[in-house]
Amino acid sequence: MRKKISPIIISFVLAAISSFSPQSMAAESGVTDFTVRIKNISTCTFSTRQVVELGDITVDTKANFDNKKLLVNVLCPDTVSSYIWANVKPLTGYFATADTMWIDIDGSILSGSYGTKFSLFDENKNKIILNGGGENNANSGFCSGTTTRTCALTPYLEAGSETGNGSITMVFNIRHS
């Protein structure tokens, strides 16, 4: 024998199912527009000479090369705060101090009384930091400003007792602050 479902139960079940429709279960929604303006920030560029030939220096002497200045030309199209920082190219020198490098003489980088030290002085006769310290510290950079400018650097050598041909490669970078 089959049981009969009463019409009241069927009506109740249908009412319950219709109250759980997908439309009634959806949460309220809202729309948010995010807007942004992308600006072209003016930046400065700079240039230097590729090679500075210092000439000869005698063993165990010090030489200031005022006549061999390296000019750093900074071009800024607008008012932009920037500075230059320096770091030695690997295998061409190593640090004696933050502002003085031992340089490569005929494939050797000697220190002490044998080695030759290299420094650069700014226009105010201050040694510039050569060990990369200016990368994140404007106080360790040089040639700071907000407009187009030229800064002159004077090479300085302290020759040790080693003889030969020497070179060091400095890498100059610009940082906008």
How much of the chain is in helix, strand and coil states, percent to nearest 5? 15, 35, 50
Domains belonging to the chain, first-starting first, are 45-176 (2.60.40.1090)
Res 30: pLDDT: 82
Res 26: pLDDT: 61
Q: What is the chain's length? A: 177
Res 31: pLDDT: 81
Res 13: pLDDT: 47
Along the 177 residues of the chain, how does pLDDT read in single tens digits? 455 555 555 444 444 555 555 555 667 878 887 878 766 678 899 999 999 999 999 999 999 999 999 999 999 998 999 999 999 999 999 999 999 999 999 999 999 999 999 999 999 999 999 999 999 999 999 999 999 999 999 999 999 999 999 999 999 999 998
The SS3 of residue 68 is helix
Buried-state track 87-120, b at ≥16 Cβ within 10 A, e below 16: bbeeebbbebeebbbbbbbeeebeeeeebbbbbb
Res 93: pLDDT: 92
Res 27: pLDDT: 73
How many whole angstroms from its chain centre is CA 108? 29
Contacts of residue 108, defined as CB under 8 A and 6 or more positions apart, other chains included, come to: 162
- CA-CA distance, 89 to 6, in Å (whole number)? 93
Whole-prediction pTM value?
A: 0.76
Res 14: pLDDT: 45
Closest CA to 47 of 88, 89, 76: 76
